[in-house]
Amino acid sequence: MARQALPLIDNSYYTIIIRLNSITASLSQAQQAHAHILKTGLSNHTYITTKLLSLYANRLHFSDARLVLDSIPEPDVFSFSTLISACSKFHHFGNALSLFCRMLSRGIFPDNFVIPSALKACAGLSALHTGQQVHGLASISGFASDSFVQSSLVQLYIKCGKIGDAHQVFDRMDHPNVVSWSAIVAGYARQGYIDKAKKLFDEMRGSGVEPNPVSWNGMIAGFNHSGFRSEAVAMLQKMHVQGFKPDGTSISSVLPAVGDLEDLEMGLQIHGYVIKHGLASDKCVISALVDTYGKCGCTLEMSQVFDEMTQIDLGSCNALVAGLSRNGLVDDALRVFRQFESQDMELNVVSWTSVISCCAQNGKDVEALELFREMQVAGVKPNSVTIPCLLPACANIAALMLGKAAHCFSLRRGISCDVYVGSALIDMYAKCGRIGDAWQCFDRMPTRNLVCWNAIMGGYAMHGKAKEAMELFHTMQKSGQKPDFITFTCVLSACSQNGLTEEGWYYFNSMSQLHGIEARVEHYACMITLLSRAGKLEEAYHMIREMPSKPDACVWGALLSSCRVHNNLSLGEVAAKELFELEPNNPGNYVLLSNIYATKGMWKEVDRVRDMMKMLGLRKNPGCSWIEVKNKVYTLLAGDKSHPQMTQIIERLTILSWEMKKSGYFPNTDFVLQDVEEQDKEQILCGHSEKLAIGFGLLNTRPGSPLRVIKNLRICGDCHAVIKFISNFEGREIFVRDTNRFHHFKDGGCLIATLDAKGLSHWTVCAEHTMESKQNYCRVNLKMSRLTSTKEKSKTPLFPVLQTIRIVMDGELEMLKTRVSF
């Protein structure tokens, strides 16, 4: 489209151009000029209007720019290009592409300036397919050999992970300049092709193009990104040796690698370099330093770097929160976070995700969900990192509905294919008893990494589906994915739950022989469980003795649990003695031992264990009876003895107890009552013991409907027997999960299977705890929540959901209170 001829003499025309050119910052100047242009009728001049459009666009006033563009009677490629490139420049990629399409649809032919802008937008959106179409367009338009176009194509393909395609374009370039060289080299480094990257780096020099600091930094960042940490550090050293001065970017690219390597020495050296070269004013360098010290466990140095910072920077604040959380200083992390919040800092998605992840990783599941709600209220949008941080919290408290909402959110945001999101979803569904949904998530993933495979295998193992887990193990290998030690933990735990001794041994041995993976404590724990469940207690004990590393609580716990099942006193005492050392505050161990004594009628010893617990301040009552359970219920309900269900509950418990005794369960001992804090009445009521919870569940669900018990605790022998008995007696399926401790989980009789989804109200008994903070068990909180019926579900909005969920949860408590008011 030819531009309009300039008027010969038109003062206002030149005046306005001079004026437009002189506008530097102020938007109001642009608006004034705009008004003037409209007034003088100069808006027909494409050159002027395009200039104006550029003013608006480069001040991020896209809507005004768009208005101007639309007002141009015959816009040319230059007008469109101006706006499209501004959109791309400021990351408004969607706008850029829609404008590009509009341009094409108006029959305006693209030029070699607009195509790179469009390609940049495609790269920004990782829109490979659209990018390929633009590539095609560039080819038929004869711009495929334009070096800017080629360079943009290289960028696009690298961004979309198509390094091969990027290289093809690159190869066709006549004389790639340092920019293109750097891009392709960084692309290879980022994808983890370190040898290829190094080779190209040398080739670049060979072809007479000298790398500049950007080229070096690209390599360092690329290596770091693909997990080649030592390579990244080595690259920095090489850069330094060869006389290139590492700048702030080099330092902030290499520091994460230094932190991951926990190479404090290197960190200190780099810190020295930073001070010496005046890089301490660089925000990224500071936040990376905070992060590095945090990763090296130097919280003092970390705080020092943070405090010395002259200007507060969000990145460093986030790094500080993460560093505190990483070093177990959860309360400090939360306090610091709240402090930043109260200072009116513009917290971003990283800030919120850090603190959510901090809670979720430290047993504060409910807090994590509450923070997620606050995040939504604050108007910060969760992303593909937030969701996998949140999902474990959902899984731990079996908040299936919220987990599903997070799933819907991921689908809508198009992040459900992300390997982290997908793996977290698989895990969440599996832990909420929905192995079918977990499988669907897995099945629909377009790309899977090891984490995904492990998640689904772990899920099947958790559900006692050993056959499926083993099949997946082989499918995975066929697909070329190599197993790691977690894979073997999943497979072995699947075997151990199903008594597959032979298979267990096979996988255990093949681990080091075929895959070069040394057996860790958790693998031994699986084998110990497998052997001891099969009654081969001596063999299990022998294996513990032969273990290369020090057996941990899981190992001894597996033995003790089975000793309780088989009532093997001598080995039980050995295991208990070890456990009392390793986990002096875990009441379950004392209970298991005292149960063995009780079975043998050794009441003196039972008393001795009781005394030990009393001395340690462990509020547990080993070997207490159903009578005591009943008394407990009375005490709890003291405020309202006339509750309509009270009598029924007591009756039910009495009948069950009687029937159990009659059927020969527990000839000598009675049930274990899980003791909890008096002040948390609803918690006591909800999860005082599996037996109570199941009792309530039996009472409040339709006969025959499945129940599930979700526990994060080691389930001791008696509880197993209760569950086993009730499932037979009531003809109900009772699903039990013991998070993260597959090998302690499930005795022969406990079924684990999928819950039905017929909209029945299920009771979910959640024991929330898990944190074994290094050595000791923390306090155990038991919780109960109810999964809503299908009807209720449909009323619940998806996202943002937490507010609703909270209300539902509180509502549940209300409901509980009215049912069994306390």
Partner DNA sequence: ATAGGGTTAG
Of 224-243, which residues contact DNA (CB under 7 A)? 224-225
Among residues 191, 249, 594, 595, the one that binds DNA under rule CB under 7 A:
249
CB 427, min distance to DNA, A: 11
CB 42, min distance to DNA, A: 21
Among residues 131, 256, 587, 623, the one that binds DNA under rule CB under 7 A:
256
Over the window 307 to 336, marking each residue x when it contacts DNA by CB under 7 A and - when it does not, the resulting string is -------xxx-xx--x--------------
Residues of span 94-153 touching DNA by CB under 7 A? 111-114, 116-117, 120, 147-148, 151-152
- The smaller minimum CB distance to DNA, of residues 153 and 519, is found at 153
- The smaller minimum CB distance to DNA, of residues 30 and 537, is found at 30
CB 564, min distance to DNA, A: 35
Identify which of 385, 382, 325, 428 has the alpha carbon closest to the alpha carbon of residue 802. 382
Query: Interface with DNA includes 613 (CB under 7 A)?
Result: no
- The smaller minimum CB distance to DNA, of residues 37 and 254, is found at 254
CB 239, min distance to DNA, A: 10
Half-sphere exposure of 566 (CA within 13 A, CB side): 18
CB 322, min distance to DNA, A: 4
Query: Interface with DNA includes 523 (CB under 7 A)?
Result: no
Bridge-partner residues for 710, per DSSP? 737, 766
Q: In the numeric block, which tokens belong to residue 265? A: 């020495």
Distance CA 783, CA 771 (A): 16
Query: Interface with DNA includes 715 (CB under 7 A)?
Result: no
SS (H, E, C) 591-633: HHHHHHHHHCCCHHHHHHHHHHHHHHCCCCECCCCHHHHHHHH
Q: What distance lies between CA 392 and its chain's CA centroid?
A: 7
Binding region for DNA (CB under 7 A) out of 34-42, 279-287, 301-309, 592-600: 279-287
Distance CA 777, CA 579 (A): 12
DSSP per residue over 701-756, as a string?
Answer: S-TT--EEEEESSPPPHHHHHHHHHHHHHH---EEEEETT-GGG---TT-B--PPP
Q: How is residue 382 annotated by DSSP? A: P
How many residues belong to the site for DNA (CB under 7 A)?
73
Among residues 178, 261, 602, 751, the one that binds DNA under rule CB under 7 A:
178
CB 141, min distance to DNA, A: 14
Residues of span 418-437 touching DNA by CB under 7 A? 418, 420-421
CB 818, min distance to DNA, A: 40
Close Cβ partners of 145 (under 8 Å, ≥ 6 residues apart): 172, 174
Residues of span 571-610 touching DNA by CB under 7 A? none
The angle subtended at Cα 61 by Cα 59 and Cα 65, nearest 5°, is 110
Q: How is residue 7 annotated by DSSP? A: P
Among residues 96, 333, 350, 649, the one that binds DNA under rule CB under 7 A:
350
Q: What distance lies between CA 274 and its chain's CA centroid?
A: 33
Q: Give Cα separations from 528 to 504, 542, 619 (angstroms).
A: 11, 10, 30
Distance CA 418, CA 387 (A): 10
Q: Give Cα separations from 84 to 40, 540, 547, 813 (angstroms).
A: 27, 70, 65, 55
Close Cβ partners of 357 (under 8 Å, ≥ 6 residues apart): 325, 368, 389
Binding region for DNA (CB under 7 A) out of 80-88, 432-440, 538-546, 548-556: 80-88
Query: Interface with DNA includes 61 (CB under 7 A)?
Result: no
DSSP per residue over 690-702, as a string?
Answer: HHHHHHHHHHHS-
- The smaller minimum CB distance to DNA, of residues 82 and 754, is found at 82
Among residues 250, 496, 568, 804, the one that binds DNA under rule CB under 7 A:
250
Query: Interface with DNA includes 362 (CB under 7 A)?
Result: no
CB 559, min distance to DNA, A: 32
- The smaller minimum CB distance to DNA, of residues 361 and 625, is found at 361
Query: Interface with DNA includes 221 (CB under 7 A)?
Result: yes
SS (H, E, C) 493-516: HHHHHCCCHHHHHHHHHHHHHHHC
CB 797, min distance to DNA, A: 24
CB 284, min distance to DNA, A: 3
CB 437, min distance to DNA, A: 19
- The smaller minimum CB distance to DNA, of residues 224 and 497, is found at 224
**Contact at 8 Å (CB) between 398 and 785?**
yes
CB 547, min distance to DNA, A: 30
Query: Interface with DNA includes 244 (CB under 7 A)?
Result: no
Close Cβ partners of 203 (under 8 Å, ≥ 6 residues apart): none
- The smaller minimum CB distance to DNA, of residues 117 and 487, is found at 117
Query: Interface with DNA includes 218 (CB under 7 A)?
Result: yes
Query: Interface with DNA includes 163 (CB under 7 A)?
Result: no
- The smaller minimum CB distance to DNA, of residues 156 and 531, is found at 156
Distance CA 750, CA 64 (A): 67
First-last CA distance in the chain: 81
- The smaller minimum CB distance to DNA, of residues 285 and 470, is found at 285
CB 138, min distance to DNA, A: 12
Using the structure block, give the residue that is written with the tokens 């509502």. 811
- The smaller minimum CB distance to DNA, of residues 287 and 489, is found at 287
Burial of 812 (0-12, 13-18, 19+ CB in 10 A): middle
| SS3 call for 278 | coil
Q: Give Cα separations from 113 to 3, 51, 77, 172, 519 (angstroms).
A: 17, 16, 9, 19, 59
CB 241, min distance to DNA, A: 17
- The smaller minimum CB distance to DNA, of residues 284 and 760, is found at 284
CB 181, min distance to DNA, A: 7
Over the window 364 to 403, marking each residue x when it contacts DNA by CB under 7 A and - when it does not, the resulting string is -------------------xxxx-xx--------------
309, amino acid identity: M
- The smaller minimum CB distance to DNA, of residues 3 and 661, is found at 3
Indicate the Cα dihedral angle 349, 353, 355, 358, nearest 10°.
-160
CB 116, min distance to DNA, A: 5
Query: Interface with DNA includes 252 (CB under 7 A)?
Result: yes
Neighbours of 545 (CB within 10 A): 8
Binding region for DNA (CB under 7 A) out of 58-66, 207-215, 441-449, 499-507: 207-215
Among residues 103, 118, 233, 288, the one that binds DNA under rule CB under 7 A:
288
